[in-house]
Structure 1
Amino acid sequence: MHALRTLLHRGVHYSFSRPVFANLILTASMATAVTAVAQTAIDPTPEILAAHRGGTLKLVAAASGGTLDPQINYTAKYINLYAVVYDGLTTFRKTTGPRGNDVVADLAEALPVPQDGGRTYVFTLRPDIHFSNGKPLTTADVVASFRRIFRVGSPTAGSFYSAIAGADACLQSPATCTLKDGLSDDPAHRTITFHLTRPDTEFLQKLAFTHAVILPADTPDHDIGNTPAPGTGPYRLTSYDPNKFLHLDRNPFFRTWDMQAQPDGYPDRIDYSFGIPDEAAVTAVENGQYDWMADTIPMDRLGELGSRFTAQTHVAPHPAMYFIPMNVNLPPFNQLKARQAVNYALNRKAMVILYGGPGIARPLCGMLPSSLPVSSDTCLYTRGASPMSPAARWSAPDLEKARALVRESGTAGQHVTLVTANTSIDYAMGTWLRDMLQSIGYQATLRPLSSSMAFNYMQNSGNHVQIALKDWSADYPSPSNFLDDLLGCENFHPNSDSSINIPGFCNKRIQALMDRAKTDVSLTREQTDALWREADQLVMEQAPAAPVIEKDDVIITSPRLKNFFYTQVNKLFFSQVWLR
């Protein structure tokens, strides 16, 4: 009841159904327990390793995550799984709590000290590491892997790696990419040298992201689709049917070089099953048929988790949100007032309840969730506020102002199609949003798509998506993951499934602020944070998207899964769980 009293004290009033109320209590009581369980997994002794080694970890999802290509795939279903299959030069520390946000050396022996004012990085490769096919890891593999990022059109090629000298030419002509000015190796000394055209204060974090994993040099320069590529991690992908399953076994050539970078795994095997709807998956995990589900837990199941399955339910913070991207190049949302109307009309309280209640979600007014080091601190679109006079926080929608803006924009009566994934929560939110669009003057329809294809479909401008609903999680904890990734000029690629700037938004003034925040090494942390807040404010004035809610991660695991090991970057870290 403490959580409910806290909300009422803050002036927040809701009518709770029993499931939502139960979830509120669950969320307030589970956070401490999650931390306490996870801490037992750090630096295990040989006795612990031997005692808990073995078994098959069983994962389940409604649909597969698409291509197995780790430099192309951009779905949480596989990115977190790839963390136990592949390695980069750097990685995020495999530990629980805030230290899990730290970058550590992985395939490199140590983190280099930037040279030339932050424009040069020299890495030394660890010796005697082998891929899962038995081939030794070499500096040539590193060089080829970074060329491949551009040649295959990786979704983050522009946003993450464009500072590498020669990247601009690679982005313009991927097939002929060489990066000869930006990347070189010395096999005799096992060194790889990066030359940047400008400093990048997050370069080591970007090297730790999945798209920068190191693959064998002979990996084809195209999407490998359903064919797995060898990796250096403790597991290897062995068989895949995107309609049914994905199987992983131990990598026989793996050896532990640093427990904080890539620890050995406990399970002998990881089996991923597809085609189980989220409602059925919850029941299956509760009963122990599967150990973990990839899809968001439906709201109507949260109550039973709080009342009957608390020992199996975990709530953890993670920089994540739902947002509504609007295509600034297509009617009606090529009109600023139409985009602002959606922001004013959006009932974020309703979206919180549809997700599962105020214990695990909160209204979001800007593009920066509160779990980031710097977050949105004003609300332009709420009752009583305006871009010229923002409020401190969201309070209520303003339908009257929204309808007036639609009329002023000259777009009233136009047809609008809202695209969502077909998961239960996305569909529920989408239904509500369709009705909202109709209420402010549009002829709106809802188009739910399979969760395995919805994101790619939204990204491709050739599909003429006017407006969509999408969830988004940080690749690493930085405001650039939400502002520059989703709205940066370099991330709009017309007619491509790898165009994460869904609105097709590009504003030179805002881009200049973001670029300075990413590159100016003379700035203090406070000055950099101020740049991100200014960019966030200007983005919301242009309203290419409507932030909806920020959300915590709610996870259910089977009764036999122990040693719940949650990192803030990789979430549940599959190699470190114990199976009875």
Structure 2
Amino acid sequence: MMVNSDTLLRAPGTTLRSVTSLFIFILFCAVTTATSSRAEILSDTPRPYDIAHRGGTLRLAAAASGGTLDPQINYSSQYINLFANVYDGLTTFKKAQGPDGNIVVPDLAENTPVVQDNGRTYIFTLRPGLFFSDGKPVTTADVKASFQRIFKVGSPSAGSFYSAIAGADLCLKTPATCTLSAGITDDPLHRTITFHLTGPDNEFLQKLAFTHAVILPADAPDHDTGNTPLPSTGPYRITAYDPNKSLKLERNPYFRQWSAEAQPEAYPDAIEYSFGIPDETAVTAVQNGQYDWMAESIPMDRLGELGSHYAQNTHVMPHAAMYFLAMNVNIPPFNSLKARQAVNYAVNRKAMVIFYGGPGIARPICGMVPSALPGATDFCFYSKAASPDAPVTEWKSPDLEKAQQLVRESGTYGEAVTLITADTSVEMAMGAWIRDMLQHIGYKATLRPLNRAVASGYMQNSANHVQIALKDWATDYPSPSNFLDTLLGCENFHPNSDSSINIPGFCNPDIQRLIDQVKTDLNLTAEETETLWRTIDRMVMAQSPVSPLIEKKTVLITSPRLKNFFYTPVNQLLFSQVWLH
């Protein structure tokens, strides 16, 4: 079914009833598909490697490349999920479907670490017989150098994930001279690596399992390698890359499976990624078998067709992910709290649900913690008849009158505002609606879509003076810290850097103290931890540096020849485990 976007993108004051009626059968199909997909996950059981299914080339499509090939810098889900098949850290998330996929397991380390000194010391033993894809052995010196490199290259997560390592504070101040001599020691003879932390970190093993902590050769350049791939340890190596055209992965000749849980033997012989395939074209190409999978979100006007005629190869999968508006708290007009609160009151989250595909795959959210995580948001300040002093439990409808009042009280009425989005169909549709909403409450608003490959970096760099941006975000590992600390923690605002994940430039000392407490207090129970995250979530939303819009499931389509659909909660479709027939 094709829907004219001009019909949808009316002034925000227009009722959504007619819009909703156009999507009734889309939503029904989405709900049906979601239910069957969940059953598929729960009933799936691990199977041993079957050499009969080995071989073939997996063909992937994307509208654009995902940016740098440097695994310690890239923060796009498009490549992070790909890197899970290429690189390894000391730990990783279990390559399993369902809840087991959230479990941290040893990867290049041969077992879970010995933890001493009340959580301040971690001792790992490196597996013997490991090699990089260029044939060089993996050593403890490579491990130490890789963590120093995180700071030298300005990894986006250096401050938020690895600042507890002793000496990291100096590395953050003067990256070029980073040594971490006090924070990491190694014993080559016994293959041990010891991490010394300045204080406990309740999520340290999960952070070590994240892509930015992969182990690279000690002689890897101390700068972003851009289009040049680095030697890897996983089942694949990157052999060719033209960011304007394609990327190719082939088998790593030095890979030998050391743990099926951590990095299983791969099935496809090669993976080819083609760029420049728009989302509408990609859907048809996957249906026709020209490609096996597409990176972009499915355009909303294709969901009904997929649910009706392509349901067997359409997968609606759970994932802790969301869309939100990031508002720059350091420049007009959103350096005004009332202006930021106005946006939260005015945004029509029901419209955002529809643009993403309907309530079968998305739902409104008023805080920063999706329901798939512990400590999930359970309040709404910014809805009709709600306020920070009298919240409701869930979002009901926008309050445009309240929003207009707050804009006038803020003194920002009539100011020019530019909204930045990526140029995908879904995000441009959302962006056009939000632009109209901003105009409706009193701003001279314009929409500026950017190529998806550069949009995130542009939004994050304060030198670009981005006032407001539409951003999607998915969990790096299953914790509220990925949304409340990573996106809004003081240590994650780096002025004039494309790697500043804290797009609003938000820093609140009181909130940061609570974040630091929940990350470091070893005596907190699970219930106390969840309570603290909910408190932090409420404090953040009272300040409104962001406007949460929707939490979403992941909708994937695969070609008829792709079998053994293997979806993990962290890395989503695990490319190494699919069969091609």
Does TM, normalized by the shorter one, top 0.5?
yes
**1:130 aligned onto 2:101:** no
The answer (yes or no) to whether the contact 2:266–2:576 under 8 Å persists in 1 is yes
Give a deviation string over 1:495-554, Cα, whole Å, max 9, x none.
000000000000000001111011100111111111111000000000000000000000
d(CA) in 2 for partners of 1:311, 1:469: 32
**Counterpart in the other structure of 1:414:** 415
Determine helix, strand or coil for the equivalent of 1:357: coil
Residue 24 of structure 1 deviates from its aligned partner by 2.1
Determine helix, strand or coil for the equivalent of 2:71: coil
Give runs of aligned pairs for residues 153-552 of structure 1, distance below 5 A. Answer: 153-552=154-553
Determine helix, strand or coil for the equivalent of 1:517: helix
d(CA) in 1 for partners of 2:393, 2:34: 27
Give runs of aligned pairs for residues 20-169 of structure 1, distance below 5 A. Answer: 20-35=23-38, 37=40, 42-46=45-49, 49-169=50-170
Residue 354 of structure 1 deviates from its aligned partner by 0.9
Residues 558-567 or 104-113, more deviating: 104-113
d(CA) in 2 for partners of 1:35, 1:539: 32
The answer (yes or no) to whether the contact 2:34–2:361 under 8 Å persists in 1 is no
Residue 33 of structure 1 deviates from its aligned partner by 3.6
Determine helix, strand or coil for the equivalent of 2:130: coil
Residue 217 of structure 1 deviates from its aligned partner by 0.6
The answer (yes or no) to whether the contact 1:19–1:301 under 8 Å persists in 2 is no
**Shift in alpha-carbon separation, 1:356–1:305, aligned structure 2, 3 A:** same
Determine helix, strand or coil for the equivalent of 1:304: helix
**Shift in alpha-carbon separation, 1:156–1:300, aligned structure 2, 3 A:** same
Residue 36 of structure 1 deviates from its aligned partner by 5.4
Name structure 2 gaps, 5 residues minimum. 1-15
d(CA) in 2 for partners of 1:426, 1:303: 19
d(CA) in 1 for partners of 2:321, 2:454: 20
The answer (yes or no) to whether the contact 1:19–1:304 under 8 Å persists in 2 is no
d(CA) in 1 for partners of 2:562, 2:43: 14
The answer (yes or no) to whether the contact 1:88–1:107 under 8 Å persists in 2 is yes
The answer (yes or no) to whether the contact 1:123–1:193 under 8 Å persists in 2 is yes
d(CA) in 2 for partners of 1:214, 1:280: 37
Residue 202 of structure 1 deviates from its aligned partner by 0.2
Name structure 1 gaps, 5 residues minimum. 1-12
Aligned length: 566
The answer (yes or no) to whether the contact 2:114–2:124 under 8 Å persists in 1 is no
**Counterpart in the other structure of 1:6:** none
**Counterpart in the other structure of 2:3:** none
d(CA) in 2 for partners of 1:236, 1:292: 20
The answer (yes or no) to whether the contact 1:56–1:271 under 8 Å persists in 2 is yes
The answer (yes or no) to whether the contact 2:133–2:252 under 8 Å persists in 1 is yes
d(CA) in 2 for partners of 1:20, 1:73: 36
The answer (yes or no) to whether the contact 1:21–1:303 under 8 Å persists in 2 is no
Determine helix, strand or coil for the equivalent of 1:324: strand
**Shift in alpha-carbon separation, 1:500–1:82, aligned structure 2, 3 A:** same
Residue 51 of structure 1 deviates from its aligned partner by 1.1
Identity of aligned residues (%): 69
Determine helix, strand or coil for the equivalent of 1:353: helix
d(CA) in 1 for partners of 2:45, 2:207: 25
Residue 37 of structure 1 deviates from its aligned partner by 4.8
The answer (yes or no) to whether the contact 1:37–1:564 under 8 Å persists in 2 is no
Residue 28 of structure 1 deviates from its aligned partner by 2.5
d(CA) in 1 for partners of 2:22, 2:104: 39
d(CA) in 1 for partners of 2:338, 2:21: 39
d(CA) in 1 for partners of 2:402, 2:40: 49
**Shift in alpha-carbon separation, 1:18–1:542, aligned structure 2, 3 A:** closer
Residue 114 of structure 1 deviates from its aligned partner by 1.9
Determine helix, strand or coil for the equivalent of 1:104: strand
The one-letter amino acid paired with 1:326 is M
The answer (yes or no) to whether the contact 2:300–2:356 under 8 Å persists in 1 is yes
**1:560 aligned onto 2:567:** no
The one-letter amino acid paired with 1:72 is I
The one-letter amino acid paired with 2:288 is N
The answer (yes or no) to whether the contact 2:20–2:354 under 8 Å persists in 1 is no
Residue 40 of structure 1 deviates from its aligned partner by 8.1
**Shift in alpha-carbon separation, 1:563–1:41, aligned structure 2, 3 A:** farther
The one-letter amino acid paired with 2:284 is T
What is the TM-score when the length of structure 1 is the normalising length? Answer: 0.96
The one-letter amino acid paired with 1:34 is S
d(CA) in 2 for partners of 1:103, 1:417: 42
Residues 79-88 or 368-377, more deviating: 368-377
**Counterpart in the other structure of 1:8:** none
The one-letter amino acid paired with 1:126 is R
Residue 27 of structure 1 deviates from its aligned partner by 2.7
